[in-house]
């Protein structure tokens, strides 16, 4: 995260407290990054609030700019502003949506995760990151070139955050259940697939220098396993990759990152594969 020089911070005036701004200040203080404050609203003038926040931050020693803008929707406004300012990270507070709202409408934070070409940090708490556990979620069972590249990005960002905050990086991966063993009681539980998965895990640990005590392999659905391990470790931030599905495939298949943002008690940093980033940049 040291390489990110400008942070876009989404300010939402209707919230009693801006978790996003508090987290952005913590990151900027450690990384010396510039803060760009954004209010997305087409109906009300928030220039007074932006002036107060900007002047206060400048007095505290931060590099700050700010703007109020609107481009069709809040996610579109955030992405357009990120492109204009060249911000390398978007920071936004996440507030859980009701089940009914998620059924009727695609949540705005889901749209942001799918369409934003840079990493998005969804802030859920004001708990300091300092000396905390950074949890990187990966799928070690997928060893193809694209997944390994995404794994490297997730681990690299996890290490950077841990370094900045004097924390400790842990890694979690969900191990799919051997379905054939369920279908046929005579089929051995210790399958070749499971052995292959364990071998891939060891190779992953070797490649990224992850010790046994910081590698957490559990059997079950990824969203449940990640949530369980994050809570057990008291993670302050969980780093996860997203395939950024859009359209019908997103509605039918879903995305682990989207499922998790309402379940995790930690902040969530969502990253994307390079090919999807390039595709999204071309759409903006």
DSSP string over 13-64: TTSSS-HHHHHHHHHHHHH--EEEEEEE-SSS--HHHHHHHHHHHHHTT--E
- Supply the pLDDT for residue 280: 55
Cα–Cα distance measured from residue 2 to residue 89, given in angstroms and rounded to the nearest whole number: 11
Most confident among 18-27, 219-228, 272-281 (mean pLDDT): 18-27
CA distance to 123, 149, 174, 220, 276, per residue, from 146 (Å): 28, 5, 18, 23, 11
Q: How far apart are the first and last CA of the chain?
A: 24
Cα–Cα distance measured from residue 83 to residue 118, given in angstroms and rounded to the nearest whole number: 9
- Supply the pLDDT for residue 230: 97
Q: Which of 33-37, 68-72, 200-204, 253-257 has the lowest mean pLDDT?
A: 253-257
Determine which helix (DSSP H) or strand (DSSP E) holds 85, and give its type and residue range.
helix 74-85
- Supply the pLDDT for residue 198: 78
Check for a shared fold between 1-93 and 127-284. yes
- Supply the pLDDT for residue 80: 96
Going by DSSP bridges, is the β-strand pair 64-69/34-40 parallel, antiparallel, or unpaired? parallel
- Supply the pLDDT for residue 183: 42
Question: CB within 8 A of 202, min separation 6: which ones?
Answer: none
- Supply the pLDDT for residue 243: 66
pLDDT over 90 (residue 103): no
CATH 3.40.50.12370 holds for 127-284: yes
- The whole-number average pLDDT for the span 150-157 is 91
Tell me the per-residue pLDDT of 183-199, one tens digit each, with 9 for 90 and over.
444 445 456 666 777 78
Cα–Cα distance measured from residue 69 to residue 141, given in angstroms and rounded to the nearest whole number: 43
Cα–Cα distance measured from residue 284 to residue 282, given in angstroms and rounded to the nearest whole number: 6
Q: Is-contact 243 110, C-beta < 8 A?
A: no
What does the domain layout of the chain look like in residue ranges? 1-93, 127-284
- Supply the pLDDT for residue 105: 64
Fold of 1-93: Rossmann fold (3.40.50)
pLDDT over 90 (residue 239): yes
- Supply the pLDDT for residue 184: 44
pLDDT over 60 (residue 2): no
What value does the mean pLDDT of the chain take?
Answer: 85
The alpha carbon of residue 65 and the mean position of all alpha carbons in its chain are separated, in whole angstroms, by 24
Q: Is the dihedral of CA 45, 50, 51, 53 positive or negative?
A: positive
Determine which helix (DSSP H) or strand (DSSP E) holds 167, and give its type and residue range.
none
- Supply the pLDDT for residue 276: 52
Closest CA to 214 of 160, 271, 133, 156: 133
Residue 118: which pLDDT band, with cuts at 50, 70 and 90?
very high
* Radius of gyration of the chain measured on its C-alpha atoms: 20
């Amino acid at each position: 995260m040291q390489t990110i020089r400008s942070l876009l911070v989404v300010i939402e005036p209707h919230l009693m407290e801006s978790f996003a701004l508090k987290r952005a200040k913590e990151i900027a203080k450690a990384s010396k990054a510039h803060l760009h404050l954004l209010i997305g609203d087409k109906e009300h003038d928030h220039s007074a609030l932006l002036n107060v926040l900007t002047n206060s931050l400048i007095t505290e020693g931060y590099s700050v700019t700010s703007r109020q803008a609107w481009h069709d929707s809040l996610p579109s406004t955030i992405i357009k502003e990120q492109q204009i300012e060249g911000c390398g990270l978007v920071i936004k507070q996440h507030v859980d949506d009701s089940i009914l709202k998620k059924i009727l409408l695609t949540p705005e934070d889901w749209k942001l995760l799918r369409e934003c070409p840079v990493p998005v940090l969804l802030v859920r708490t004001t708990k300091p990151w300092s000396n905390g556990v950074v949890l990187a979620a990966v799928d070690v069972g997928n060893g193809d070139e694209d997944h390994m590249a995404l794994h490297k990005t997730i681990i690299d960002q996890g290490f950077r955050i841990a370094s900045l905050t004097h924390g400790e990086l842990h890694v979690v991966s969900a191990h799919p259940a051997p379905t054939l063993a369920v279908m046929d009681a005579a089929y051995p539980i210790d399958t070749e697939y499971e052995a292959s998965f364990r071998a891939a895990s060891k190779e992953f640990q070797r490649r990224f220098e992850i010790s046994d005590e910081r590698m957490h392999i559990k059997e079950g659905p990824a969203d449940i396993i990640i949530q369980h391990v994050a809570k057990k470790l008291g993670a302050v931030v969980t780093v996860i990759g997203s395939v950024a599905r859009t359209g019908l495939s997103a509605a039918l298949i879903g995305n682990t990152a989207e499922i998790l943002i309402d379940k995790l008690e930690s902040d969530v940093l969502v990253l994307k594969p390079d090919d999807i980033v390039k595709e999204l940049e071309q759409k903006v």
